[in-house]
Structure 1
């Protein structure tokens, strides 16, 4: 298995974010993949709630410095890294002061969603893919966890579709109970302008909520994982309608079966 490379793109990972099934899975899934002999790289956003000193994050200068254009504006990409020594897992963090230097993860002090959550997610996704390119590490499987990773599948299949690095990659998009009935941003239609999705798909994102973004991710993925109970039944039905394989991912055996099936 040591020649199979799995890129984990996680919304949350313990101990950096705690208290959710997704954060627990964000730690457990890479750990299980490493135990099975897979070569693993793991990414998450550097949310402002993460204490850099306590968690011993440091900037990786050779990977930082690229400017990413999001909704027509340049935003510097900063890459940080930390290690979970107990399980020998290194975590890369995507950072930017405009998008992630905030007290909340997705909501402000009043509980209102940030109006640029769509831009933040798009920046995170592009940051991950550009960093993987710099690492010159070619993944066989990209395993996305959480709605904030939803831009990864359409980006890989459209904007990055012509690049040999991602040409043969399989995408597993895992659903969690994290799709609130609220807009993903002020103008997702504009944010998605860089994608080469169909006009109908882009129009459908004009006033998109989280479920609409998840459906977009499912369309561009090879399979769908079920990360916990209580999932949106509409999203499960949507994946089934597209004949996407559905995998439970609650044990090492299930993770191995899913990856083996993806690799054919």
Structure 2
């Protein structure tokens, strides 16, 4: 029987970023799922704080070199990779000087969200999907972690729906306890509209907020997981109203088994 393929897309993974609930799950879940007999690929952004020398990142020339147009500007897509030897797994990094070379992740040193976070989310989502196409690796399930991945379900269901690699892919979106003080940019609704996406598809973003980006992820996902014990009550209500297949919060001792079983329900 052919192994099921699971694509993990996360905004943070330890040891490349400090430990958090999301970064730890994004590190140990792929390993656990791989040990249960599934084939995996894992992606995250190559933030400026990721130490390339210490973590032995290197560019994958055959996957790099494409330009993605966002907000009428060309942005080169660079793909790097590193190995976590103890887990026998690789992590692919989406790199771009304009979006990911600053030292902070989503907020500046004063705690203010970056003004181009919406563009960064577009670049990251498109960068991952275009790289998977170049790898010619068709995922049975795509598991997205964190708001930066929230456009992936939309793009899979709309912009990439005719690509045979994603024709049968199911998408799971994990919601975490993420807090933001400011709205996204006023151009968000235009920035996220790539070929195959119209304004009606993203009307949830008429009020461009981080919470509404997560709502968009929930809206187009096939299933939703509560990644943190406590999440934004507004998102709890939205998940319940969506009537999507849902897995509630799972503690550290049980989440790998629970998520793996949940994938079987979704696929």
TM-score, normalised by the number of residues in structure 1: 0.95
- Tell me what 1:224 maps to: 224
Is 176-185 or 214-223 further displaced after alignment? 176-185
CA contact (8 A) 1:172 1:222 kept: yes
In the TM superposition, 1:1-264 aligns within 5 A as 3-194=3-194, 196-197=196-197, 199-248=199-248, 249-250=250-251, 251-263=255-267
3-state SS of paired residue (2:87): coil
Alpha-carbon separation, structure 2, partners of 1:150 and 1:209: 12
3-state SS of paired residue (1:183): coil
Displacement of 1:236: 2.0
Alpha-carbon spacing, 1:252–1:2, altered in 2? closer, same or farther (3 Å)? farther
Displacement of 1:2: 5.3
Alpha-carbon separation, structure 1, partners of 2:195 and 2:117: 17
Displacement of 1:219: 0.7
State the number of aligned residues.
263
Is 166-175 or 240-249 further displaced after alignment? 240-249
CA contact (8 A) 2:9 2:43 kept: yes
Displacement of 1:135: 0.3
Alpha-carbon separation, structure 2, partners of 1:3 and 1:88: 17
Alpha-carbon separation, structure 1, partners of 2:33 and 2:122: 26
Displacement of 1:198: 5.0
CA contact (8 A) 1:154 1:195 kept: no
Q: Which runs of 5+ in 1 are unaligned?
A: none
Deviations 1:175-209 (A, max 9, x none): 10014242233520221222644534534424411
3-state SS of paired residue (2:92): strand
Q: Which runs of 5+ in 2 are unaligned?
A: none
